[in-house]
Amino acid sequence: MSVSSGCSTVLMSVRVSVRPLRVGSDSLRLQLSMNASRAGDFTLTLRHTDRGGRSVSLAEFDLRSVKYEVTSARCHELRLSKPPQDSLTFTFRSEQEAQEWATVMMSSLREAHRVANISHLSHDGLQYVKCEDKSATLSMSTKEELCIELSQAIEAGDTRAAMRYASDLAQHQIALTIQPSQRDAEEGEISLAVVVEDATSSCCVTVKILPHMTVSSLKQQMFLEYGFHPKVQRWVIGQCLCADVRSLASYGICRDGDTAFLYLLSAHHACLSQQQCQQERENAALLLTPPPNPTAALTPACSSSPVSHDWRGYSTLPPRFTHSSSGGSGTEKPNVNDIINLDILQPGGSKLKSSNTQLGWSCPSCTFINKSTRPGCEICSTDRPNPPNHCSIHQEKVRRSDK
């Protein structure tokens, strides 16, 4: 049974006699302890209890610097890895005690050596040995072990160990994705209210999301569910233009009914070609899990025909999907593609009117399509650019005033 002692946890303690020491077995104990805040940090201590009952440490060994061997049913041998490679022989009082000690000791020894090999510590556990061959490739298991050790060191507040693991990862130029742990995050799905707008229309849809998912993941989800390519999506939450690498929770999305705004660019503005969109739509469709009911309706991201890929020149929104002649259930999820291609109601309730005139101006900084009456960009506050004939009109006014 383990016992905590300061920063260390005693895993096991047992009485032994030791050669070549001339001390009775009743006064000597082997004690195995570990530092709970540092992975692979195990210490083997030989303790002596004097006649007054006071326990003193005679020797301490870092398990990373020793070799341990079971030589017989009651005898074990410890040998130092570095010169002078002295050895000690421990004799236990019974075979059962020896077996129990060997089980705990050998598993701790394997863990200590495993961590030492990963972190490239020297045999005495004090000096970090840098990798000489920086071009050497690490196995996937070693990379994962390094990442786990780095995570545990950071969580434990062990800055020295964290620096060692981070240095080793950096030397091999290993690509990582670092995010706060989701351990304390609410794992349940929530309903996100999304106001979808482009230059001519808008609608409101509800999307099931996880607060800890990234904006990039949300873009991919909208691509799979509704067909909006990630390149044409611009997300705004709390008056902030969202970055792909940040989580939704970092923008305050944590409860049912929280709102986000999705502004859609034109395919031309996003430099999205017809061929690229078709190819990526096919790739995304392959990731969709087939519905359990073979007769279930296709998701909005899929075409009603496997070879049909309707494309609207430089349109932002995906094509309108064909409805089957059979009636559907009233609880089915509304199709945003059908809604947004009809005479749609704005969030305030006013109906959009179709017009061939320019309904807004494009911001030169963030490309958001602003209302024609706005003097500056609603998203990034950039000043509205002058129209192409602005100079000629101004010159004409000056010429007339001079007359």
What are the domain boundaries of the chain? 3-119, 190-321+333-340, 358-403
Q: What is the model's pLDDT at position 22?
A: 65
- Name, in order, each residue with C-beta under 8 angstroms of 300's C-beta and a sequence gap of 6 or more: 225, 226, 227, 318, 321, 335, 336, 337
Q: Closest by alpha carbon to 208, among 227, 193, 223?
A: 193
If 0-12 CB within 10 Å is exposed, 13-18 middle and 19+ buried, where does residue 121 land? buried
Among 191-195, 296-300, 312-316, 371-375, top mean pLDDT goes to: 191-195
Asked if domains 190-321+333-340 and 358-403 share a fold, the reply is no
Higher pLDDT, 263 or 142: 263
- Chain mean pLDDT for the chain: 73
Residue with the two structure tokens 């101006």: 361
Going by their DSSP bridges, the two strands 75-80 and 3-5 should be labelled as: unpaired
If 0-12 CB within 10 Å is exposed, 13-18 middle and 19+ buried, where does residue 96 land? exposed
Give CA–CA dist 189/255, Å, rounded.
9
Three-state secondary-structure class, residue 288:
coil
Residue 143 has pLDDT above 70, yes or no: yes
Sequence-ordered alpha helix ranges (H) in 157-295:
159-171, 215-226, 274-287
Q: What is the model's pLDDT at position 75?
A: 93
Residue 262 has pLDDT above 90, yes or no: yes
Residue 392 has pLDDT above 80, yes or no: no
Distances (CA, A) of 162 to 8, 39, 126, 154, 155: 20, 11, 15, 6, 9
Give CA–CA dist 81/68, Å, rounded.
10
Give CA–CA dist 70/193, Å, rounded.
65
Find the mean pLDDT for residues 190-198: 92
Q: What is the model's pLDDT at position 95?
A: 92
| Digit-coded pLDDT (tens) for 345-375 | 333 333 334 444 445 778 888 777 877 777 7
> For residue 257, what are its two tokens?
């009914």
Find the mean pLDDT for residues 47-67: 86
Q: What is the pTM of this model?
A: 0.39
Q: What is the model's pLDDT at position 357?
A: 43
* Chain length of the chain: 403
Residues 303, 307, 308, 314, Cα dihedral to 10°: 100
Q: Given pLDDT bands bounded at 50, 70 and 90, which one contains residue 191? A: very high
Q: Domain 190-321+333-340: which topology?
A: Ubiquitin-like (UB roll) (3.10.20)
Q: What is the model's pLDDT at position 127?
A: 42
Higher pLDDT, 240 or 304: 240
Find the mean pLDDT for residues 213-220: 91
Sheet holding 240-241, edge to edge: 202-209, 190-197, 259-264, 233-237, 240-241
> For residue 59, what are its two tokens?
């020797």
Do residues 168 and 132 make contact, with C-beta atoms less than 8 angstroms apart? no
Sequence-ordered alpha helix ranges (H) in 324-364:
336-340
Find the mean pLDDT for residues 32-55: 84
Q: Domain 358-403: which topology?
A: SH3 type barrels. (2.30.30)
Higher pLDDT, 274 or 67: 67
Percent of the chain with pLDDT over 90: 14
Residue with the two structure tokens 């570990």: 34
Return the minimum-mean-pLDDT range out of 127-131, 237-241, 306-310: 306-310
Find the mean pLDDT for residues 19-29: 72
Residue 24 has pLDDT above 80, yes or no: no
Residue 260 has pLDDT above 90, yes or no: yes
Residue 260, φ and ψ in degrees, nearest 5:
-135, 155
CATH 2.30.29.30 fits 3-119, yes or no: yes
